[in-house]
Structure 1
Amino acid sequence: MKLSLGPIPYLWNREYVFDFYARVAEAPVAIVCLGETICSKRRALRLPDWLDIAGRLTAAGKEVVLSTLTLIEAESEVAYLRTIAENGSHAVEANDYAAVNMLEGAMPFVIGPHINVYNARTLAVLAQAGAKRWVMPVELDRDTLAAIQEQRPTGLETEVIVFGRLPLSFSARCFTARAHNLSKDECNIRCADYPDGMRLHTREGASFLDLNGIQVLSARTYNLLNEIKTLAELKVDILRLIPQRQGMFEIIDAFDSVLQGVMPPPVAADILAGCQPAGSCNGYWHGAPGMDQVNHA
């Protein structure tokens, strides 16, 4: 199995992003997904910047995938999507069916985790359209994955998110702007103030959700470190990590060390514990509520 790094879901400043990917170039990840997937108003980096980073990562031996917006709402976003689809150099991850329509028959592409692939029949249709890889939606459990894998089209790779805050929903409204009594059109890009999302708590003070512009994330970190053996048995090809500001390169090294057999999972789990401020969860994987942490007997 190989490690991949998903696209940055948050709004980080330009200098930090360039520095981050300079370090990624030296990190033990085989695949790197780049681009803005949340909101087209986030313009700290433009497409030429992403292509610049893509070129540097490619030179470092990484497979680069350009990820598309998850929610397409305007003609300008369709035009931007078309530019990505026609980049001619790098694979594209479709996070919306508009992207699938543009990419079908044009080039092999990746089905992102935000496209609902819940059974093997859907996967077969997308493979026929040209998909070379699919990323399992985070709400699916291991039994559903096992059933899909049994009928997976030949040559199609399977990628599973194994670490990061869970992407739960997207909306035409901006939650971060609304929290500051601002409209979406005049949001002042307030999401830039929350480099790992804006935390929401229950009345009892427990961490519950993170707001990230139009996206809602779990506060707890999804962590399938202890499921690596099962994922291998299910013939999963790629394990995806979702970027975060805190301890990202320690996270990458921990997963890589477990995959290489040089670090036992309990030792790696201790390292990851410090990178999960609200704790961990794995409920979806076990067919339980997503925010639950199901421990092995």
Structure 2
Amino acid sequence: MLELTLGPVAFYWTRDRYADFYAQAGEWPIETVYLGETVCSRRRDMKLDDWRDIARSLTERGKRVVLSSQTLIESEADLRGLRKVCDNGDFMVEANDHSAVRLLADAGVPFVAGPAINLYNAAALGVMAKAGMQRWVMPVEMARDALANLLTARDAAGLDAPCEVFAYGHLPLAWSARCFTARRHGLPKDRCQFVCQQYPEGLPLCAQDAPDEVFTLNGIQTLSGACQDLRHEVPEMQRMGVAAARLSPRAEGMSEVVAAFDRARRGELAERDPLALTEVGCDGYWHGQAGMKRTALQATPT
């Protein structure tokens, strides 16, 4: 059966919100939980020991836990923090930057390759597998057909490299040295006053000529405006040989999302509504189209 994983929280929450969220997550039908700050090193409310405490609690509830590394490494201080994560000694690490890959490979420690590592072909998978990669997360903009071809090439090469697909949540698109949320408030990055904590699901960014959200600003990270939602693609993922579906946390309604994907992997999810003019989530990348595309079923005129 397809595994369900809970990705790292992309947004900056309060300590109490993290504690409440993961207390609930311990009861959800998910197998693996990714923990850690992957976006901005200035978000210091949660220390590594705090993440490890949550990790131990989840482990006691039968969850597999992976510590996720920061994606954009900008300073020696960032490297020191990265080394601590890679040297944690208890939990596998998701490498979201090649600095993490190098540290883990040199130490002979197995790891998960995150979506920002950008693995697009079997040769790259082979190199990473030799470095110690145990699993990889598909690049979020890769189309279903390209992934199917890559999985076929992986199997032909005899690589034991399970694939995880980013199946739900705001898609991580880009990282910058500048903080867009601070800029929105007229603040410099190094004196940001942590305003991104005011937006537990990011700051919506709309086009001037359309009401739809184009992007979601999350500090130095740019996310998709809408959430990708591939729950109806789960049967296809299973046929393709995808190992796991990643659900990226949101501040509200996450238990319902997990329950829906759990039903989908059991073949119990209701069909799409043929009368629906739009679908809530975007899925354009999966279908080889523009990422913000919503491949909704149109009602047939009578």
TM-score range normalised by the length of the shorter chain:
over 0.9
Q: How does 1:159-198 map to 2 (within 5 A)?
A: 159-198=164-203
Aligned to 1:248: 254
Structure 1 segments of 4 or more deviating over 4 A? none
Alignment: residue pair count: 289
Q: Is the CA contact (8 Å cut-off) linking 2:67 and 2:94 kept in structure 1? A: yes
Counterparts of 1:264 and 1:143, CA distance in 2 = 24
Counterparts of 1:77 and 1:112, CA distance in 2 = 18
Is it true that 1:264 corresponds to 2:266 in the alignment?
no
Question: Can you list the C-alpha shifts for 1:105-159, whole angstroms capped at 9, x where unaligned?
Answer: 5211000011111111111111111000000011000111011101225321110
Q: How does 1:44-193 map to 2 (within 5 A)?
A: 44-105=45-106, 106-152=108-154, 153-193=158-198
Structure 2 residue aligned with 1:238, among 244, 257, 262?
244
Deviation at 1:295, TM superposition (A): 3.9
Aligned to 1:283: 284
Q: Is the CA contact (8 Å cut-off) linking 1:142 and 1:286 kept in structure 2? A: yes
1:166 is paired with a residue whose SS is strand
Deviation at 1:296, TM superposition (A): 6.1
Q: Is the CA contact (8 Å cut-off) linking 2:126 and 2:159 kept in structure 1? A: no
Unpaired runs of 5+ residues, structure 1, are none
2:89 is paired with a residue whose SS is coil
Aligned to 2:204: 199
Q: Is the CA contact (8 Å cut-off) linking 1:207 and 1:219 kept in structure 2? A: yes
**TM-score using structure 1 length:** 0.94
Counterparts of 1:260 and 1:292, CA distance in 2 = 27
Deviation at 1:205, TM superposition (A): 2.5
**TM-score using structure 2 length:** 0.92
Aligned to 2:235: 229
2:150 is paired with a residue whose SS is helix
Unpaired runs of 5+ residues, structure 2, are none
1:256 is paired with a residue whose SS is helix
1:134 is paired with a residue whose SS is strand
Q: Is the CA contact (8 Å cut-off) linking 2:95 and 2:111 kept in structure 1? A: yes
Q: Once the two structures are aligned, what percentage of the paired residues are identical?
A: 45
